[in-house]
A and B are shown apart, each in its own frame.
Chain A
């Protein structure tokens, strides 16, 4: 970390209000406080540092443009900014024209890294967390699929490949898993 301390939910909500009011310093505070974590999230999904930086910059611009849409009643401010970031990462991953410029071995390295990052993330959940307990109660394949989507940005096709199951099976595993997870967490 370089100087940025994580901010509380209330501080981040305040900073988003500042952005909505046109205060660039508020956006800069968000980058300074949360940029390191955002780079980490992006790097897990995109593997390459240059792509991760691009995704974080894209996300910051989107946060600026959409800050007025953030409502404090709709979940946490952190959840909101990280969702914008993951969305930008997935856009980069889905940009086939762009990926076609990658060497085949780079693409393979990227896929391997994304798989590895998802495994790491699941293992990195603190044991005391409800999400940890509830994921471990799911069918392991369903839990793996959900984490691959969230952490690695994998889509249904990629997940069914990674788990070597038909697409339909993969989709119903995920749906059942999400239902069970939600009930467990509520």
Chain B
């Protein structure tokens, strides 16, 4: 690990050449191991930031900042969807329907421990994914459902976002490579606000493997 740690430290110190730095900055979005190493390196050196003086006048900078903000940060969106639908709703309806433009790259049917279909994930790649529940899920007070995918064993599970009830909204997924055949998707029950570790920590509500929809 120390090679990675050393590279992370040089990255944090701004000592790498610009091309390498740009490449490693992009990698922060999808390589969880790298991102964690950089986080640790930052925190090791952070006491030096804390020695900086606390200067007055920062609040006056707000107007200049606000004028430059876009409408909302780019992020993976859960597209609009209906409320939880009745169990048994045919999955074929989603596949063959005209709902989806463009077509999802992959579709995964997530089943619970007993094999009962629970939700369908359509991942469009880029910033969009959609989840649709095909049976009702009870989420205990103080808990929240979180959706994950496993792009590769090296990357480890990556959060696609938190769900509010069985009607999805929010999210903070990183830009990932296009999803592939057999890629794992799962929903876990996490503390409200999401997994504290950035990895699944709670019970798995449902999981399933993706099938490419474009014959690749």
Which of A's residues lie within 8 Å of B, judged by CB? 1-4, 14, 17, 19-22, 24, 27-28, 31-32, 35-41, 43-44, 52-53, 56-57, 60-61, 64-76, 78-80, 82-83, 86-87, 90, 120-122, 124-126, 129, 131-132, 146-147, 149-151, 153, 155-156, 174-175, 178-179, 181-182, 185
Contact = CB atoms under 8 A, between A and B. Distances in A.
Given A37-B49, A69-B29, A31 B62 contact: yes
Interface string B164-184: 000000111110000000000
A74 B61 contact: no
Nearest to A32: B59
A182 B14 contact: no
Contacts of B75: 20, 68
B199 interface: yes
B136 interface: no
A64 B73 contact: yes
- B: contact size bracket: 35 or more
Contact of A53 (B38, B61, B74, B199): B61
Given A20-B73, A121-B51, A75 B196 contact: no
A129 B44 CA distance: 11
Contacts of B50: 37
Nearest to A134: B44
A89 to B, nearest CB: 9
Interface of B: 2, 5-6, 9-10, 12-15, 28-29, 32, 35-36, 38-59, 61-62, 64-66, 68-76, 159, 170-174, 193-199
A21 B170 contact: yes
A39 B73 contact: no
B65 A31 contact: yes
Given A57-B64, A66-B73, 11 more contacts: A39-B55, A43-B52, A57-B61, A68-B74, A68-B174, A69-B28, A75-B36, A76-B43, A78-B46, A150-B48, A155-B15
B192 to A, nearest CB: 11
A36 B74 CA distance: 27
A70 B49 CA distance: 19
B172 A20 contact: yes
Contacts of A28: 62, 66
Nearest to A124: B51
B49 A32 contact: no
9 contacts: A31-B65, A39-B57, A53-B61, A68-B174, A73-B39, A121-B48, A126-B47, A132-B47, A178-B10
B15 A82 contact: no
Contact of B198 (A71, A121, A178): A71
Contacts of A175: 6, 10
B54 A36 contact: yes
B9 A182 contact: yes
A82 B170 contact: no
A2 B42 contact: no
A74 B47 contact: no
A28 B72 CA distance: 15
B61 A31 contact: yes
A64 to B, nearest CB: 6
Contact of A4 (B42, B59, B173): B59
Nearest to B13: A149
Given A37-B52, A68-B74, A69-B174, A129 B39 contact: no
